A and B are shown apart, each in its own frame.
Chain A
Amino acid sequence: MTSSNTGLPNRRQVLLAGAVGLAAPSLLLRPALAVTPAEIKAKGKLVVGIQGDNPPWGFVTSAGKQDGLDADIAALFGQELGVPVEFVPLEVNNRIPALTTGRVDVLFATMAMLPERAKVVQFSKPYVANTIVLIGPKSAVIKTNEDMAKFSIGVAKGAAQDTQVTKNAPASTTIRRYDGDAPSIQALVSGQVQALGGNIFYIQRIEQARPGEFENKLEFQNLYNGACTRQGEKEINAAINAFIDKIRANGELQKIYDKWMKVPVHKFPDSLEGISFTAS
């Protein structure tokens, strides 16, 4: 790019560019219609935001197919509506923006139900449970949150483990944030960080790469994952809640649990502090 960049802009151009940049969105912003199940049926497809690199929740197989627990549940919800599902694999950090800006209709994307998230998106009832943990070398002593200060800790940017590690670790702790689950695990495996915030399934993946070296050290929080829709979209939220009740009752959820989690379906709470399951 040596020959293309020689026309240096002057100050007026920069100011003009800045003004255009700031003014453009406010001129163009207009609200779109809320998505309803009827609209999705009319459109003929359900666009689902999902994770692409976080097995067994949501991942893309080497054959290029979207798979995982979230994928199975989303596919089942698509069946319920009678439309095929189109998966949009998202980075951890892009999930909520992808929903709020209308890129996807709904998130089945390992979305831990957290109060700060509930301020910007509408959670459904929980459909699966997860635990956020700290993984560290077997040789290291990490018994309390304070012990974390001595280690460099990797997390996926914006994931529940990011929130938990940031909240619980002493302020002096070195926390490194990566673009997604895969790079954060990569960072632990290649020794760029000494410990890693993750979920209950991380350790299985790490075992494949560096067997016998790591273990779960701390448990931060038991979390429930729910589906997310945009706030104020009552119909689709109600449809998802009815769907979750249905698959819990008819054993479909247990089948999915058997396939991926290999435990009985968790007992889900009827309410969570600061999180409403139904759109108002």
Chain B
Amino acid sequence: MNYKLDFTPVLDGLPSLLTACLGTLFLSLCGMALAIVIGIGGVVLRDSRIKQLRWLVMAFVELIRNTPFLVQIYFIYFALPLLGVRLDPTPTAIIALGINGGAYAIEIIRGGVQSISKGQIEAGLALGLHKAQVFRLIVLRPALRAIFPSLTSQFVLLTLTTSVASAISAYELTSVAQRIESDSFRSFEVYGTVTLFYLVISWLMMRFFGLISGRYFSYPVK
């Protein structure tokens, strides 16, 4: 066996790989947006007065967090059509990512809300703040600040998870990489390069969240 590394197919495919990064970003951002919506909605329902609703949210969280993403996305893509729900690969991927991220977001956001003690809210009202001000300054900002690091890592993880969407032929970086690989048979070179792309994407994402965090949450605590 005389294997020589050859990066020519990777270089030839560079434009399509770079464009595919946009596909990955698109899936990630849509997935995150959906995850936040599910997360907030879930937290509201989780503390609802209706027992069945609370139970439903808990069951959803446990079910999603304890089964693999690959099985979830296969289920939505291959099994749901039998029930009359047929979605294209990209919407399927976004929904699967949103549901998966949402289950984690529910727990994260709930933790943040619980970290605000009643006493702080009462103190705010006693100081003569409006209800809206109390919510914005005493509930929302500290809660967001508390959950921001967890949410960031969860979202980076969600971005990395988009690679699994290649299994249902969604358009993103991994599926384009596999395309180049099956044309050139240069798996190590292609996957090695694409791994670096992902590293850069997740680093940019962390920087981005870090900037937001620095901009909005850098007020002193004590």
Contacts and interface: CB of A to CB of B under 8 A. Distances in A.
A196 to B, nearest CB: 13
Interface string A186-226: 11001110000000000000000000000000000000000
Contacts of B153: 1-2, 4-6, 8
B192 A25 contact: yes
A158 B3 contact: no
Contacts of A97: 181, 185, 187-188
Contacts of A94: 187
Interface string A239-259: 000000000000000000000
A18 B199 contact: yes
A12 B77 CA distance: 40
Interface stretch (B48-56, B79-87, B119-127): B79-87
Interface residues of A, number: 48
Interface string B171-182: 000010011011
Interface string A1-32: 11111101101001001100110011001011
B72 interface: no
Q: Which secondary structure dominates chain B's binding surface?
A: helix
B221 interface: no
Contacts of A33: 1
Nearest to A97: B187
B196 A21 contact: yes
B58 interface: no
Contacts of A17: 199
A34 to B, nearest CB: 6
Contacts of A176: 89, 169
Contacts of B200: 14, 18
Contacts of A187: 77-78
Interface string B129-164: 000000000000000000001101110110000000
A23 to B, nearest CB: 11
Interface stretch (A128-136, A177-185, A263-271): A177-185
Given A1-B157, A6-B149, A21 B192 contact: yes
B212 to A, nearest CB: 13
Nearest to A2: B150
Residue of A9, A11, A116, A157 ringed by the most chain B CB atoms within 10 A: A157
Given A2-B107, A230-B1, A177 B178 contact: yes
Given A25-B5, A96-B185, A177 B206 contact: no
B185 A177 contact: no
A224 to B, nearest CB: 20
26 contacts: A1-B154, A1-B157, A2-B107, A2-B108, A2-B150, A2-B154, A8-B152, A21-B195, A21-B199, A25-B188, A25-B192, A31-B2, A31-B3, A101-B187, A101-B188, A102-B1, A116-B183, A157-B182, A178-B168, A179-B167, A183-B167, A187-B77, A190-B78, A190-B79, A191-B86, A192-B86
Give the top 8 A-B pairs by smallest Cβ distance, nearest first: A158-B182, A5-B153, A97-B187, A176-B169, A190-B81, A2-B150, A32-B1, A96-B185
